[in-house]
Chains A and B, each alone.
Chain A
Amino acid sequence: MSDKIVSLEEAVREIQNGDIVFIGGVLDSRVPMAAIYEMIRQGKKDLIGLSILALEDPAVGAGCISAFIGCYAWLGAFGKAPCIARKYENGELIIEDLGHNDSLLIYMSAFGLSSVASNYSIGSDLLNLKYSKLDKIREIARNKEKIPKVKYAKIEDPFFGGERVLLPTIKPDVAVIHVQQVGTEGTCRIFGVEGVDTLAAFAADKVIVTAEEIVPEDYLREDPNRNSIPCTQVDMIVEVPWGAHPSVVSHYYDLDIEFIIDYVKRASTQEDFEEWLEEWVFSVENHEGYLNKLGIERLESLRAVKGYGFRPRTWLRR
């Protein structure tokens, strides 16, 4: 058995205050929630989030994430993210706005590139440097040299003529990614929407993978084209079944809509949010406690149906 396999607590200890953290999955899909709850238990501070900030909302409310460089900070169909909105309003969350492609092209650091020419924000105020907050974000970053000096730069294109916009890339200190299957050596298989987890895993200095299940490496290596992240990029492996609840995990379980609606309601004031945190994060002590509290009936009601990858809304409904 590989020595990469560790406990959730050990893995999350690797994240340091002020780290630039890539949190995998997208919005409400395959978000490493168990790891996020553990970051809260360990009292992480001044983390800098990237690309999309959504179900990470409790980590913002608990003061773990205090800056964000990305394109979207909202809960999709569930509306305003309560803690993100409140912390931003209080000046406790700094946001640097990007478009979606640019918020992903920053991971071109994976290929050793320090910048890329990107035209994805032309005509937008995203290219108006007076709104940039990078200087403030640098203040809280542990590795200050990783935060670019300016948001964008204008250059003459010596190859094809005209003006181009240069976007600096960013190298995350750590990536935390939840996948469906990981091999004992770290090979990852993702089902459904990938986001840019593969790219980010190559860009980050350190990669923590939490998985629905740890499977034999050979099982995944029978069909290597289906694998998303090679074992060479993965530093730590944690088996965390239901580890992305309440987000959706393709082929494993569906979105827990009621849980999210209840969260949004209860997190609308800091006081009520802290009560929610006590109930769902601190008092349960660990992920097993969280699952016990959810209960087998609730979890089973979310389980994906084979052949669909999700649970059709009318499935087995009488």
Chain B
Amino acid sequence: MTEAVKAEEYTPLEAAVVYVARELKKYDGRSVITGIGLPVVASLLAKRLYAPKLKINIESGSFDIQLPEIPISLFGPRISYKCSAQLNNLHSLAGTARGDYDIGFIGGAQVDKYGNVNSTVIGDYLGGHKRLAGSGGAVDIGCFTNTIIIMPHRKERIVNFVDYITTPGWKCRKPFSDEIVDRQELGLPGGPIMIVTNLCIMRFDKESKEAYVDTIFPGVSKETIISNTGFDIDLSRARTGEPIQKIEIETLRKEVDPLNIYRLR
């Protein structure tokens, strides 16, 4: 079964999805809370290949969803189709505070070296800025849950410090102040465990709480990562990822997203 595919035969986004799916192997039988896009595709791929008992939950109040086909709407009938129970949004999203989810996924416009994520404004909130989507459920997930952050690898998106902390990482905002404090000081459980981009996987140093490159996707150079990262990134621990397998790409393309809804390829 093991047959490696060359890097030119898949796209960087497909690689990201495969590496996230592999990460979910250790969560078989556990619960994740996820959103639309790459996380849902990766969770489905994981369910097919690595974690058949993975429970996928969505902030739409939908528990243990089945996803008969890739959804476009986070709140539509493809999500509630044959899920265990369809309740209200609070029921599922409050599960973060209950500690119900072992992993949560978040995206955004910026992530910094401490894993803080910004999905609110780019620029100065009180001055010139560009407005983004807003938190959605990101802050609710990131406050309490171990998260996987998904972000395109570009200098302006993988930054030294975010313009606005929508979702707290390892060094975040003390409530009602401008002060930056360690996450532990605020008594928050969870925290970001990895950042997945189209080039690599970053994890966080236990001491400094800063992101370092853990896995480089096959065919990607260290120089590409350095020139696309907005801070001085530690590559000393970087290793090249296990090659992508034929079965992973085939399952992704033929079974998980045959219509290429999320334009991974």
Which residues of A have CB within 8 Å of B81?
308-310
Q: From B61, B167, B177, B178, give the contact of A193 (CB < 8 A).
A: B61
Given contacts A97-B120, A100-B137, contact A129 B176 (CB under 8 A): yes
Stretch at the interface among B72-80, B211-219, B224-232: B72-80
Interface residues of A in 65-90 (CB under 8 A from B): 70-74, 76-77, 85, 88-89
Interface string of A284-318 (1 = CB under 8 A from B): 00000000000000000000100011101100000
In the assembled complex, the CB of B212 is this many whole angstroms from the nearest CB of chain A, namely 22
Tell me, yes or no, whether A143 is within 8 Å of chain B by CB.
no
* Measured CA separation A145–B87 after assembly (Å): 32
In the assembled complex, the CB of B218 is this many whole angstroms from the nearest CB of chain A, namely 29
Total residues of chain B contacting the partner, CB 8 A: 56
Nearest B residue to A85 via CB reads B131
Which residues of A have CB within 8 Å of B125?
125, 131
Q: Are B134 and A73 in contact (CB under 8 A)?
A: yes
In the assembled complex, the CB of B167 is this many whole angstroms from the nearest CB of chain A, namely 6
Which residues of A have CB within 8 Å of B86?
192-194
Q: Are A28 and B76 in contact (CB under 8 A)?
A: yes
* Measured CA separation A215–B68 after assembly (Å): 30
Tell me, yes or no, whether A158 is within 8 Å of chain B by CB.
no
Interface centre among B120, B126, B172 (most CB of A within 10 A): B120
Q: Are A99 and B73 in contact (CB under 8 A)?
A: no
Q: Are B89 and A251 in contact (CB under 8 A)?
A: no
Nearest B residue to A248 via CB reads B76
Interface string of A21-52 (1 = CB under 8 A from B): 00001111100000000000000000000000
Interface centre among B59, B78, B137, B172 (most CB of A within 10 A): B78
In the assembled complex, the CB of B60 is this many whole angstroms from the nearest CB of chain A, namely 5
If over half of B's interface residues share one DSSP class (helix, strand or loop), that class is named, otherwise mixed; here it is: loop
Given contacts A122-B168, A123-B168, A193-B80, contact A104 B89 (CB under 8 A): yes
Which residues of B have CB within 8 Å of A251?
77
In the assembled complex, the CB of A172 is this many whole angstroms from the nearest CB of chain B, namely 16
In the assembled complex, the CB of B68 is this many whole angstroms from the nearest CB of chain A, namely 7
Q: Are B68 and A125 in contact (CB under 8 A)?
A: no
Tell me, yes or no, whether B97 is within 8 Å of chain A by CB.
yes
* Measured CA separation A312–B87 after assembly (Å): 23
Tell me, yes or no, whether A263 is within 8 Å of chain B by CB.
no
* Measured CA separation A124–B183 after assembly (Å): 11
In the assembled complex, the CB of B176 is this many whole angstroms from the nearest CB of chain A, namely 6
Tell me, yes or no, whether B43 is within 8 Å of chain A by CB.
no
Q: From A29, A98, A152, give the contact of B76 (CB < 8 A).
A: A29
Interface residues of B in 66-121 (CB under 8 A from A): 68-69, 72-81, 86-90, 93-94, 97, 120
Tell me, yes or no, whether A113 is within 8 Å of chain B by CB.
no
Query: B: which residues have CB within 8 A of A?
Result: 36-37, 59-62, 68-69, 72-81, 86-90, 93-94, 97, 120, 125-126, 131-140, 143, 164-168, 172-173, 175-178, 183, 186-188, 259
Q: What are 25 A-B residue pairs whose CB atoms fall within 8 Å in the complex?
A: A26-B89, A27-B74, A71-B134, A71-B135, A72-B136, A119-B97, A119-B143, A121-B139, A123-B173, A124-B165, A124-B166, A125-B125, A126-B166, A128-B173, A128-B178, A130-B126, A131-B126, A163-B175, A193-B62, A193-B75, A193-B77, A195-B89, A197-B88, A308-B81, A313-B69
Query: A: which residues have CB within 8 A of B?
Result: 25-29, 70-74, 76-77, 85, 88-89, 95, 97-101, 104-105, 119-131, 152, 154, 162-163, 165, 191-199, 248, 250-251, 254-255, 257, 304, 308-310, 312-313
Q: Nearest 4 pairs between A and B by C-beta?
A: A123-B168, A74-B133, A123-B172, A250-B77
